[in-house]
A and B are shown apart, each in its own frame.
Chain A
Amino acid sequence: MRRALARYGGALVAPRATVAASGPEEGLRDGIWLSLLYLAVTSVYPVAEGFANWWATRNLGGIVMILSAFGRALIVPIVALVAVETILGQGRAHRRGLALVPMVVVVLAMRQVPWRATVGVPYLPELLAMLAAVGWTLWVRRSIPEQEARG
């Protein structure tokens, strides 16, 4: 837990040093934990709305609404992880999860500003978050020790 927190903080304050110092078996579940944090920041209310729809209908349509809420929430981290993995390549892909740290920071920051009132771009936080993940990955890529591809 302590090492994970230090890794997440390190990904923000000293990204290259952090990825270079992380052991090969360290943080293999970062992608899962950080995706859950992403959901916590962006999707608690929409998922609750999905449950409210199901509560009112109690039928298949309501279940579809819940699945749709989860699907809309998860599509961004999934696409980001695929993009990051493509950039990193097979030998460095074990560090892909950490790229979600800047994503979570961006969506968290965007939650604090009333961007909807001033900017007419839909999905702006998601777009900026993806850019942050991709930019972070390009920045640290060469510092990640390459691993032998696993059979």
Chain B
Amino acid sequence: MSRLGLGVGVVFVAAALAQGAADFARARADWAAMGPLPPGSAAPAFAVRTLSGAQFEPEHLQGKVSVLTFWATWCPACRSEIDDLDELDDEYEGRPDVQFMAVNAEGVPPREAWRKAAGYAAKEKLSLPIAVDNGSMSRKFRVGPIPHTVVLDPSGTVRHVHLGRVSSSTIAEEIEQLLQESR
């Protein structure tokens, strides 16, 4: 084994470990802003328009348990979850203390996103309220992979976050727990 080989080996391993250490330091510095908006956070400022033309903003979260799910028509797990939430929304129909909002995060220009979301809602005969996001609301809730579902309490505080497909029974349990707390 040559001295040159040993020297190059030391530099090689040291450089790799230094890169890992630098990334670790960066991750530590970014930790608070990594991942989704965690439970305990207040809902950030946002404004999206629903398919029915209404504006949906943080003030609409007040006094209600809110279930926000970020989805897209190209995402099979999202479509499956949306179908479930549509049924759950029907179960809570007429309840002023619970609301659902499916926030479309299609990742395409707004007009196209609108057309796709509306087309899907019509095809599936969804009664679930749907809003179309231009990316700004998703960024504020720090949405990564979808479906991404957030359950907020009546004060507009994030209480539960789900990454990936979540069952409607889990959401129903969380809604009931938050309703009990607020009574």
Contacts and interface: CB of A to CB of B under 8 A. Distances in A.
B1 to A, nearest CB: 4
Interface in B141-177: 144-145, 161-164, 166
A9 B35 contact: no
B9 A56 contact: no
B119 interface: no
Nearest to B6: A6
Contact of B8 (A13, A37, A44, A53): A13
Given A10-B1, A40-B20, A5 B27 contact: no
A111 interface: yes
Interface size class of A (residues with CB under 8 A): 35 or more
Interface of B: 1-2, 4-13, 15-17, 19-20, 23-24, 26-27, 31, 34-39, 144-145, 161-164, 166
B16 A40 contact: yes
A9 B4 contact: yes
B20 A52 contact: no
Contacts of B39: 56
Contact of A52 (B4, B23, B31, B145): B31
Contacts of A74: none
Contact of B24 (A3, A44, A53, A57): A44
Interface stretch (A61-69, A120-128, A138-146): A61-69
B166 A61 contact: yes
A118 interface: no
Given A40-B19, A44-B24, A105-B12, A6 B163 contact: no
A41 interface: yes
Interface of A: 2-10, 12-14, 18, 21, 37, 39-41, 44-45, 48-49, 52-57, 59, 61-62, 64-65, 101, 104-105, 108, 111
A9 B36 contact: no
Contacts of A18: 1, 5
Contacts of A59: 162
**In the A-B complex, the 5 residue pairs with the closest CB atoms:** A9-B9, A40-B20, A52-B35, A9-B8, A52-B34
B118 to A, nearest CB: 29
A129 to B, nearest CB: 13
A37 B145 CA distance: 27
Nearest to B34: A52
A7 to B, nearest CB: 7
A54 B8 CA distance: 39
Contacts of B19: 40-41, 108, 111
Contacts of B9: 4-10
